[in-house]
């Protein structure tokens, strides 16, 4: 007996992915317009646009390898390291 996939979890997942993308894209463009000069904005917007595709692709390639070696929880947790490094680079730590 095969189990029929339900659509509600898939639609809910797409909803949350869309909300997350919207939470990054709008503020990201605003920050680019404030932080970069006019002649640098195209380059910065290109980096912002490519980041989602590159990050998503790297995640699909790297997370299964880490999950196979250390388990899926550690595999996903280790993906937090680039986020923390970026946050530290831009904002530093207040002691």
Give tens-digit pLDDT for 6-34: 788 778 877 887 887 788 888 888 889 89
Measured between its terminal Cα atoms, the distance across the chain in Å is 59
- At 77 the pLDDT is 84
| The model scores a pTM over 0.95 | no
The first and second tokens of residue 71, run together, are 């388990």
The first and second tokens of residue 13, run together, are 């997942």
Among 46, 52, 41, 50, smallest CA distance to 18 is for 52
Please give the radius of gyration of the chain, using alpha carbons only, rounded to the nearest integer. 18
Scanning the structure block, which residue is given the tokens 């070696």?
A: 69
Residue 44 has pLDDT above 70, yes or no: yes
* Burial class of residue 34 (count of CB atoms within 10 Å of its CB; 0-12, 13-18, 19+): exposed
């Amino acid at each position: 007996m095969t189990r029929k996939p339900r659509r509600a979890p898939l639609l809910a997942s797409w909803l949350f992915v869309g909300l997350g993308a919207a939470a990054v894209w709008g503020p990201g463009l605003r920050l680019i317009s404030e932080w970069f000069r006019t002649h640098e904005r195209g380059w910065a917007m290109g980096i912002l646009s490519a980041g989602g595709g590159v990050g998503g692709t790297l995640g699909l390639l790297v997370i299964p390898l880490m999950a196979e070696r250390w388990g899926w929880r550690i595999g996903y947790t280790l993906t937090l390291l680039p986020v923390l490094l970026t946050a530290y680079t831009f904002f530093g730590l207040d002691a």
